[in-house]
Chains A and B, each alone.
Chain A
Amino acid sequence: MAARKPPATTGTENIFLPREAGILRVESLTATEKLFTLRMKDGAPMVYDPGQIVELSLFGYGEIPIGFASSPTRRETFDVVVRSVGRVSKAINRCEKGDSLWVRGPLGRGFDLPKLRGRNVLIVAAGIGLCPTRSLIQYILERREEFKKFTLFFGARTPKHQLFLADLAQWRGSDAVAYHETVDQPDGSWQGNVGVITTLFSKVAIEPDSRVVICGPPVMYRFVIRELDKIGIPHHRVFVDLERRMKCGLGKCGHCQINDRYVCTDGPVFPYHEIEDLEEVFA
């Protein structure tokens, strides 16, 4: 075993120094989620792949890792969705139009777009997992001719937990995407499918040559992959977008490690075959 030569160690760039972003728009999506449209104050475009993350912060409170929720083709502005869960996210969600947030990124590995182009694509998103995949959904819909059949499964706990209601309404009536939705618990007005997201697989035919993207709560992945196995979709065509405590986003702080991988730099999007043998992938 030979040690790798250390890279150059000169320079003064501080990888923890964030850049200022102005809030152009705030929209409440649900009782706990807000969408922010941001523009970098230095005027530099944000160049990223769907699936990559930023470390978003409010000084005095801290940083949180967040996926992009809009298509990278927009360039001048980008969207992020923040769910109020802890001290930092609650403080960010009190911010208003005209305030500033602080951004480091883009960071990590996003979706491998060349591997999806020219293919049938299925996106399986649940809960807040729709936010990072929305970046890819918008991208595909904008460049629809570059992709073959596009199917989207979206699951939410209840109808009230559904995000991006305007988007959902548009997708329901669209020919560009075969959109299928479900909720775990319906309310009185719900007319659609009831059940966990895997119940959609028995109702919709998925081509075995599809490329599949999965993003949702940790418990979901195993069950979705089981359905994909039944269809015969090989694991190198399955892309999982994983959540971990990506504290630094730079592959240093150790919190997001899955065995020997760093989710923040090796992922958060992984072709499933790369990590399926790692014992700590799913909870």
Chain B
Amino acid sequence: MAAYFLRESDLAAWVDRLIRGRPVWGPVAKKTQFVFAELHSAKELRLDYDVSLVPPKKVIFPTTQELVAFSPRGAESSIRPRPQILFGVHFYDIKALDQLDLLFAEKHADQNYLANRAATTIVGSSIQRVFKRAFWGSIAPEVKPRGHDAFLTKIRGGYLFETRTRKGEALVRSGKFVKATPARVEEAQQVNARMMARCPEKFPAPAAQVAHQVRFAFIKEELWKELAHDCFSCGTCNILCPTCYCFDVQDRWNLDQVSGVRCRSWDGCQLEDFARVSLGEGASENFREERFERYRHRILRKLTYLNEKLGGPACVGCGRCSAGCVPDIADPVRIVSRILEV
């Protein structure tokens, strides 16, 4: 829609005004790492973060979300979105949210997600520090982020603020913005373009080619067993992934023991029981019983199965799974490199 300039010294006052209006989630420091948290003051905001530990999807798709409340009177929908701002999201996490938007909307539209999404204003921000395991510069760079309402780029002396929607444009009223000059717009473009080349890791081939070759590799059991050999089935790679959205649904009683809630919680396809079905009399069937089968499922789901629907892979190159995996066997760059080798 429009481009504005905000001086560095005016950022805090703007963010503090936004916080007074409604909840604002942004990157904050937690010891040496960063998380998305509800901001109490602009002082907490760390736009120089490299990556957040847990992706910002949690603001729209909470780790545990109440779906339905029940009581002796019956059942009630728990959809109650609150207006909020998700501030300082890197472009790769916006790409991930774009995917969730589509996946929760297709077939049976899930308003438990979509209503939260519609009530959220997303402000992207340029990457100032590069995460040591990131490869967002080389995985499907042709897929652009599109779900944000505005984008903030650090340039000399301040920020370029580009609005994309009316929700984004409305934020301008809270700060000391001036119309940006073409030179500043150009500078921001260069800042973001230069950043794309600075990732320490490089995805080894175009995503469409990888999709084909990874699918073809499905039957190479020995290869998957080798890759998954040290997997603990802990599910960390799932939980840290910005595009994972599998969940379990469980009921919880309230203390009164007559009412309660039905909730969903993040789940992970690497966990041993994820695809297990009870058959009765103690018998069960686990449709992905072996670790390598679950490990393979994750890789195919990230790099192959959803590509046609999403227009690219369900991996945005954030590097969280690579860094979070204790035996360090979850890195899509290394996995794909190995698959392409054999």
Contacts and interface: CB of A to CB of B under 8 A. Distances in A.
A258 B279 CA distance: 18
Given A59-B262, A61-B251, A252-B103, 15 more contacts: A3-B312, A6-B101, A10-B118, A16-B264, A17-B75, A32-B281, A245-B276, A247-B247, A247-B248, A251-B106, A252-B104, A253-B248, A255-B275, A265-B107, A280-B293
B309 interface: yes
Interface string A236-271: 000000011101101111111111100001000000
Nearest to A100: B74
B275 to A, nearest CB: 6
Nearest to A83: B280
Given A3-B312, A14-B112, A85 B280 contact: yes
A238 B286 CA distance: 24
A8 B278 CA distance: 37
A98 interface: no
B74 A20 contact: yes
Interface stretch (B29-37, B167-175, B299-307): B299-307
Contacts of B143: 3
Contacts of B101: 6, 9
A160 to B, nearest CB: 12
A265 B68 CA distance: 22
Given A84-B280, A253-B249, A244 B287 contact: yes
Interface string B232-276: 000000000000011111110100000010101001010000111
Interface string B219-238: 10000000000000000000
A159 interface: no
B251 A85 contact: no
Nearest to A17: B77
A12 B249 contact: no
Interface in B41-89: 67-68, 70, 74-79
A283 interface: yes
Contacts of A86: 278
B68 A17 contact: yes
Contacts, number: 170
Contacts of A14: 67-68, 77-79, 111-112
Interface in A214-229: 217-218
7 contacts: A8-B105, A9-B117, A12-B79, A15-B111, A16-B112, A258-B287, A265-B107
Nearest to B238: A254
5 shortest interchain CB distances as A-B pairs: A3-B311, A254-B246, A260-B305, A14-B77, A59-B70
A244 B75 contact: no
B108 interface: yes
A251 B307 CA distance: 17
B308 interface: yes
A16 B68 contact: yes
B105 A9 contact: yes
Given A6-B106, A61-B251, A20 B111 contact: no
B195 interface: no
Interface string B179-222: 00000000000000000000000000000100000000011000
Nearest to A282: B287
B169 to A, nearest CB: 20
A115 interface: no
Contacts of B312: 1, 3
Contacts of A260: 300-301, 304-306
Contacts of B287: 218, 244-245, 258, 280, 283
A248 B104 CA distance: 12
B340 interface: no
Contacts of B107: 250-251, 265
B280 to A, nearest CB: 4
A94 interface: no
